[in-house]
């Protein structure tokens, strides 16, 4: 074409088949020049050598070994301060309204609670400052000791009086611990005579306001007379002492239809276990409608009287550890602790030398009415799930016993 005469043709870099027309007469023309803004400049790029990354080297291995060695030394010397705290059962304290009573300043001060269990170990940091009146019916030890599988008594005591991390239900009660059970494999057992003796110690020597029994045996329907533990429980109640007892853990398809003894005693407060969602624990024992005298149980003494948190409950264990356990044992302590707070608020309800069962009957009726105003009872859930503040309010509104 005429207009292309007198111009040079310059191949495009990288595309030699494409030719660009260049006027050599242009001022400052330089061969093979293009403006950088058009995507090309005459600068020749430099190559960057590729060096593959090494996943491991001798130097990094030595550094890692030194680091791990330091971690091990810190761990063994307890200087590794970053530790994950154990879980708690705070939900149970809130759900049962125990914390609400504590927020009102109630701590169990001035109330005497006696537990019959496997004993207690005071080596746990949350029990170090706890004062315990201890009596050993297993081996006559003068110092507090726990004979139980998974330190059952220590777990129960920690729920009540722990003074650190997870504060107990009634940490300022005066605690008596009668060691009457001991480990038998994974179970804790003791003769009924020994349990009866321990209950009587709680009555006459420790002078308890409340006796907490996170234990129980099968009811013998063929027996012609009641056993020592049941007899001692009746003796305590006749003296105006409150008895809180576990319903038992034989629920489900194999349930025999009876709460454990001595929870079958009419005026005892018998406790089943509930879960975090408020439903009854599958292993919580069902109650019977007829008492040991052949009479129909009537409001507010139908069995069990109530349920309380008892599934996955965290408490003090052996070797300064925190354990989680499930059972009507745990639930029993929640009711015991709530009752201790109520007796602190109403000391006139505590037993004395002239006491009868009148105050026990008043407190039991207030409990049932606070949970079931329409007097409805269920053989597994009782009158309902523990609501400590509602219970106290109902007691406060009741006439003096």
Q: What is the distance between the alpha carbons of residues 245 and 239, in angstroms, rounded to a whole number? A: 17
Count of structural domains within the chain = 1
The reply to whether 81 falls in a domain is no
- Tell me the three state secondary structure of residue 367: helix
Quick one: pLDDT at residue 311?
97
The reply to whether 73 falls in a domain is no
User: Do 107 and 85 touch, CB atoms closer than 8 A?
Assistant: no
Q: Tell me 265's DSSP state.
A: S
Q: Assign residue 113 a region (left: φ > 0; alpha: ψ between -120 and 50; beta: otherwise).
A: beta
* HSE (side-chain half, CA atoms, 13 Å) at 251: 22
Structure tokens at 137: 């019916």
Quick one: pLDDT at residue 46?
42
Q: Assign residue 306 a region (left: φ > 0; alpha: ψ between -120 and 50; beta: otherwise).
A: beta
Among 177, 141, 142, which Cα is nearest to 156's?
Answer: 177
Tell me the pTM.
Answer: 0.79
The reply to whether 24 falls in a domain is no
Q: Which residue has the tokens 């494409």?
A: 18
- CA angle in degrees (0–180, nearest 5) for 329-107-281: 25
The reply to whether 86 falls in a domain is no
Question: What range defines the domain where residue 214 resides?
Answer: 92-396
The reply to whether 277 falls in a domain is yes
Q: What is the distance between the alpha carbons of residues 396 and 401, in angstroms, rounded to a whole number? A: 11
Helix ranges restricted to H, 45-143 = 58-76, 90-95, 98-103
Quick one: pLDDT at residue 396?
97
The reply to whether 50 falls in a domain is no
The reply to whether 194 falls in a domain is yes
Residue 200, number of CB atoms within 10 A of its CB: 16
pLDDT in tens, the chain (401 residues): 555 555 566 566 556 566 666 555 544 444 443 333 333 334 343 433 434 445 456 666 677 777 676 655 544 554 444 445 568 899 999 999 999 999 999 999 999 999 999 999 999 999 988 999 999 999 999 999 999 988 999 999 999 999 999 999 999 999 999 999 999 887 888 899 999 999 999 999 999 999 999 999 988 777 768 899 999 999 999 999 999 999 999 999 889 999 999 999 999 999 999 999 999 999 999 999 999 889 999 999 999 999 999 999 999 998 899 999 999 999 999 999 999 999 999 999 999 999 999 999 999 999 999 999 999 999 999 999 999 999 999 999 998 88
CATH number of the domain at 131, please.
Answer: 3.40.50.200
Structure tokens at 383: 């009158």
Among 17, 18, 19, which Cα is nearest to 8's?
Answer: 19
The 3-class secondary structure across 338-350, one letter per residue, is HHHHHHHHCHHHC
The reply to whether 40 falls in a domain is no
């Amino acid at each position: 074409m005429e207009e292309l005469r007198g111009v040079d043709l310059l191949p495009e870099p990288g595309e030699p088949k494409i030719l660009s027309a260049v006027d050599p007469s242009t001022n400052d023309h330089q061969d093979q020049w293009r403006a950088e803004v058009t995507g090309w400049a005459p600068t020749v790029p430099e190559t960057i050598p590729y060096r593959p990354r090494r996943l491991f080297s001798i130097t990094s291995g030595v550094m890692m070994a030194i680091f791990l060695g330091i971690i091990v030394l810190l761990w063994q010397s307890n200087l590794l301060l970053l530790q994950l705290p154990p879980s708690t059962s705070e939900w149970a304290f809130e759900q049962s309204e125990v914390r609400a009573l504590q927020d009102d300043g109630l701590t169990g001060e001035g109330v005497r609670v006696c537990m019959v269990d496997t004993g207690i170990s005071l080596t746990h940091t949350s029990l170090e400052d706890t004062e315990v009146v201890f009596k050993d019916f297993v081996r006559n030890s003068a110092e507090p000791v726990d004979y139980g599988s998974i330190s059952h008594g220590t777990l129960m005591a920690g729920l009540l009086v722990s003074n650190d991390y997870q504060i107990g239900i009634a940490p300022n009660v005066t605690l008596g611990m009668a060691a009457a059970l001991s480990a038998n494999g994974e179970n804790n057992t003791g003769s009924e005579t020994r349990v009866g003796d321990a209950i009587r110690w709680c009555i006459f020597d420790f002078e308890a306001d409340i006796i907490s029994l996170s234990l129980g045996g099968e009811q013998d329907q063929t027996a012609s007379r009641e056993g020592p533990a049941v007899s001692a429980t009746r003796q305590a109640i006749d003296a105006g002492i409150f008895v809180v007892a576990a319903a038992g853990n034989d629920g489900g398809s194999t349930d025999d239809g009876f709460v454990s003894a001595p929870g079958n005693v009419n005026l005892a407060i018998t406790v089943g276990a509930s879960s975090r969602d408020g439903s009854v624990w599958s292993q919580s024992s069902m109650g019977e409608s007829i008492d040991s005298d052949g009479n129909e149980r009537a409001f507010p003494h139908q069995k069990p009287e109530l349920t309380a948190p008892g599934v996955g409950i965290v408490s003090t264990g052996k070797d300064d550890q925190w354990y989680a356990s499930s059972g009507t044992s745990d639930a029993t302590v929640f009711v015991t602790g709530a009752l201790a707070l109520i007796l602190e608020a109403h000391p006139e309800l505590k037993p004395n030398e002239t006491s009868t069962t009148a105050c026990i009957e008043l407190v039991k009726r207030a409990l049932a009415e606070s949970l079931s105003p329409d007097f409805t009872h269920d053989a597994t859930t009782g009158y309902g799930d523990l609501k400590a503040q509602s219970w106290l309010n109902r007691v406060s509104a009741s006439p003096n016993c």
